[in-house]
Amino acid sequence: MVEQISLITEQIPHLRRYAAALLADRDNADDLVQECLARAISRHHLWKPTGTVRTWLFTILHNLHVNQIRDQKRKPEFLSDPVGYEQHGELPRQENRLEVRDLQRALQKLPDDQRAVLLLVGLEGHSYAEVALIVDAPIGTVMSRLARARDGLRKIMASQSATDLKVVK
Amino acid sequence: MTHISSITENDIHAYVDGVLDKERCAAVASWLEAHPDAAERVQAYKDQKALIRDAFDAVFDEPVPIELTNEVLKSRGFRVAIPWPRIAAGLVLLMLGGISGWSVRDQWPERATMPAPIAGNALSAHAVYVSEVRHPVEVGVDQEKHLVAWLSKRLGKPLRAPGLAASGYGLVGGRLLPDNGQPAAQFMYEDVDGNRITVYVRRSLEARETAFKFTSQENASAFYWVDSGFSYALAGKLSREELLSIAEQVYKDLNQN
């Protein structure tokens, strides 16, 4: 268990980075990671050493996020501005940079399942097979989500930069 | 050359992600030369990927908030896994060491047991501040960036607060201290049970690295060393072994770049 603890601890920066990109709101992102860790710890006996601890943790985080989205859709009155920073003006920490803000805005416009795959591959460097495990989908589905996400993001950012009269590329 | 028609959308993405084998990669590259539209798209995907990494890598480099570390450490499984028999054995050894140390106390010249100045100062500062309930630190971890920038400025050399999450300690904050007329920095860490350790840092006149040295006083022990122009001392009320493993982590953490 002690060994697992340190394997889990090692993954926290990865989980935080992924959650920050997935959710845009840093506090929500850390809450999600915290919930993921709590669940991982309470269920560590369910971890089968077939995959890596890393894949296992990302699977837990992914499922929690999917549940959150489902709950939000069920209770639309709580679905306020999902990109909260647009109201509050300033983003926490380093996300103040204009380019980063554009990127976050664009990412939030992607469908959830596409954004997840895009970030798992592009940001966290999971293999396609690992992503298929994490999101529990056939690899073909993963590939098509990735393709749609990349193309979608390209188009969103191109139109954003056209509106903002700003070069993104 | 591979058949042009055999290049698929999946190949394009695998190419962007750099997961194709050499042969396939070359095939895609030459196909792209003949298809400028696709080549432009590939470049856009690559840029996009780099932009995403660039945007969020800062999150990865941030120190992990103590709530998250605690979430992992407070697990019951972790407590159960504490090796009590070994700790008990260690305590017995400590007591024996104390007794034999006491019995030979007059046989050793005082100088031999005098810790090096950095260790002495670090241990004094440790003793004064770890017991402080209301103001253990001057600047808390919530302003870590400011803390590190401030202490770096005062010490006149870029400084970092080592990450000790893997040892179960989260940063509480830090303070500036006088050390023989020179500024020194103290970072305080706490584990989930509220046990505190401190990392004491000051500029070093010695350019060369030194090995870890150990010293022990009544209420706490310290490992101290010199590395990259700084003198460090790690102080805590821990066994030599425990302290050494944390000192190694401090060293490792500060040297990973």
Every domain of chain A and the residues it spans: 2-163
| Nearest residue in chain B measured CA to CA from A26 | B59
Identify all chain B residues contacting A64, using CB atoms and an 8 Å cutoff: none
Say whether pLDDT at B57 is over 80. Answer: yes
- Count of positions (residues) in chain A: 169
Identify all chain A residues contacting B57, using CB atoms and an 8 Å cutoff: 17
Across the interface, whether the CB atoms of A41 and B9 are under 8 A apart is answered no
Nearest Cα to Cα of residue B55 among A118, A129, A144, A104: A104
Q: What DSSP designation does B20 have? A: S
- DSSP letter for each residue of A63-127: HHHHHHHHHHHHSGGG---SSTHHHH-SPSGGGGSHHHHHHHHHHHHS-HHHHHHHHHHHTT---
Across the interface, whether the CB atoms of A16 and B59 are under 8 A apart is answered yes
* pLDDT confidence bin for A165, thresholds 50/70/90: low
Selected residue with higher pLDDT from A23 and B3: A23
Query: What's the confidence (pLDDT) of residue A59?
Result: 94
* pLDDT confidence bin for B104, thresholds 50/70/90: very low
Across the interface, whether the CB atoms of B68 and A34 are under 8 A apart is answered yes
Mean pLDDT, residues A123-142 taken together: 94
Cα–Cα distance for residue pair B153/B147, rounded to 1 Å: 10
Q: How far is B181 from chain A (nearest CA, A)?
A: 35
Selected residue with higher pLDDT from A23 and B211: A23
Query: What's the confidence (pLDDT) of residue A3?
Result: 66
Domain ranges of chain B: 4-60, 63-102+113-255
Superfamily of domain B63-102+113-255: MucB/RseB, C-terminal domain (3.30.200.100)
| Nearest residue in chain B measured CA to CA from A155 | B44
CA dihedral B139, B143, B146, B149 (to 10 degrees): 80
* pLDDT confidence bin for A81, thresholds 50/70/90: very low
Cα–Cα distance for residue pair B59/A94, rounded to 1 Å: 8
- The pLDDT mean for chain B works out to 81
Token pair 């030979």: residue: B104
Selected residue with higher pLDDT from B56 and B193: B56
Burial (CB count within 10 angstroms: exposed 0-12, middle 13-18, buried 19+), residue A164:
exposed
A101 touches chain B (CB under 8 A): no
Cα–Cα distance for residue pair A110/A153, rounded to 1 Å: 7
In this complex, the residue of B17, B57, B81 whose CB is nearest that of residue A121 is B17
Rg from Cα positions in chain B: 26
Which helix (DSSP H) or strand (DSSP E) does residue B236 occupy? strand B230-236
- Percent of chain A surpassing pLDDT 90: 51
Cα–Cα distance for residue pair B222/B122, rounded to 1 Å: 8
In this complex, the residue of A34, A123, A146 whose CB is nearest that of residue B13 is A146
CATH no., domain A2-163: 1.20.140.160
In this complex, the residue of A41, A122, A151 whose CB is nearest that of residue B49 is A122
A36 touches chain B (CB under 8 A): no
A64 touches chain B (CB under 8 A): no
Identify all chain A residues contacting B245, using CB atoms and an 8 Å cutoff: none
In angstroms, how far is CA B134 from the centroid of its own chain? 25
Nearest Cα to Cα of residue A41 among A6, A76, A78: A6
Selected residue with higher pLDDT from B210 and A96: B210
Query: What's the confidence (pLDDT) of residue A166?
Result: 47
Q: How far is B208 from chain A (nearest CA, A)?
A: 31
Cα–Cα distance for residue pair B66/B138, rounded to 1 Å: 18
Q: How far is A71 from chain B (nearest CA, A)?
A: 24
Which helix (DSSP H) or strand (DSSP E) does residue B176 occupy? strand B170-179
Window A:117-156, CB contacts with B under 8 Å: 118-119, 121-123, 127-128, 143, 146-147, 150-151, 153-154
